Amino acid sequence: MKIQERTGAGQGRSAAPAQPSVGDRLPTPPRERKPALAALAVLLILVGALGATMLVLQAGDRIEVVKVTKEIPAGASVTDSDVTSVMVAEDSNIHYVKWSLLDDLKKLKAVNTIPAGAVAVGEMFGDKVTASEGKTLVGLSLKAGQFPSGIKLGDTVAAYRVAEGGSGTGNSSASTSGSDNSLLVDKAVVTSVPATNGDEIVGSTNSSYTLAVDNDEAAALAQAAANNEVVLVLVPSSNSSN
């Protein structure tokens, strides 16, 4: 009987699992630190802040440049009355003409017609003028009386054929009567004029002018010029668009 009681008592004790005490918890594994990811996050934050700063600085870096307020014909130069100054964001890829260089710009010629409202860039101007699409440059060597006095770059003129012995007055009253007199070009833009000294044309011989004319008018004008049969008439600006 005693042996059975002891055995039963031992079975009773083994059926109840031993519970760990409060102070005997299992140790947790240490967290794995990733310093590379932390450094990358900090770097991205710094790059973002630097980019935002650069955008703000660039937006505030503005320069004063030349803006065209009136159309400038090919071959003409800018004047104080057809330009103004505006502020734009500086861009090294765009060759803006700075307002401080206006006096230098006046010495150059428009390569092609520049519309009003355009911001001037260096490519629009040059020492020489080339013909725009659909236009041909024709050079003329004219005597006094074959062209209006005071003719200048950018003026619009008409060219008449005047037969030898005809009268060429160099103004709107130039004689075009007679069967051999005819209109050669109704509207041509003056792209080159002789060098001047004040208001007087240098030299007393023929004066050289260059006109930009339509391609289909160039041959007749050049032939008449070779025969010294051309008279230029200044077209008033109010009629130049008619």
Report the CATH number at residue 80.
Answer: 3.90.1210.10
Which of 83, 105, 126 terminates a domain? The answer is: 126
Asked if the structure places residue 184 within a domain, the reply is yes
Of 22-36, 59-73, 223-237, minimum mean pLDDT range: 22-36
DSSP reduced 3-state for 223: helix
146 and 181 inside one domain: yes
Helix segments in the chain, DSSP class H? 2-15, 35-60, 102-105, 215-226
User: Is 52 a domain residue?
Assistant: no
Work out the percent of the chain whose per-residue pLDDT is above 90. Answer: 25
Residue 174: the pLDDT is 40
> Binning pLDDT at 50, 70 and 90, where does residue 96 land?
very high
Flag whether 12 is in a domain.
Answer: no
Does 2 reside within a domain? no
47 in any annotated domain: no
Q: Are residues 111 and 186 in the same domain?
A: no
Measured distance CA(72)–CA(108) in Å, rounded:
12
Q: Does the residue 176 lie in any domain?
A: yes
* Residue 101, pLDDT above cutoff 90: yes
Lookup result for tokens 């001037």? 120
Query: Distance from CA of residue 202 to its chain's centroid?
Result: 35
Assess contact for 132 and 212: CB atoms under 8 A. yes
- Number of compact structural domains in the chain: 2
Output DSSP code: residue 70: S
Give CA–CA dist 141/90, Å, rounded: 45
Tell me if 151 sits within 8 A of 163, measured CB to CB: no
How many Å apart are CA 136 and CA 103, to the nearest integer? 29
Pairing between strand 200-201 and 196-197? Answer: antiparallel
> Which domain range does residue 114 map to?
62-126
User: Do residues 142 and 209 both lie within one domain?
Assistant: yes
pLDDT (average), residues 170-189 = 62
Same domain, 104 and 197: no
Mean pLDDT of 148-175: 68
User: Is residue 171 located within the same domain as residue 95?
Assistant: no
- Closest of 22, 240, 225, 214 to residue 132, by C-alpha: 214
Q: Where is pLDDT greater, at 42 or 180? A: 42
The verdict on residue 154 lying in a domain is yes
CA dist 232 and 151 (Å) reads 10
Q: 103 with 85, same domain?
A: yes
Please compute the mean of the pLDDT values over residues 4-27 and round it to a whole number: 55
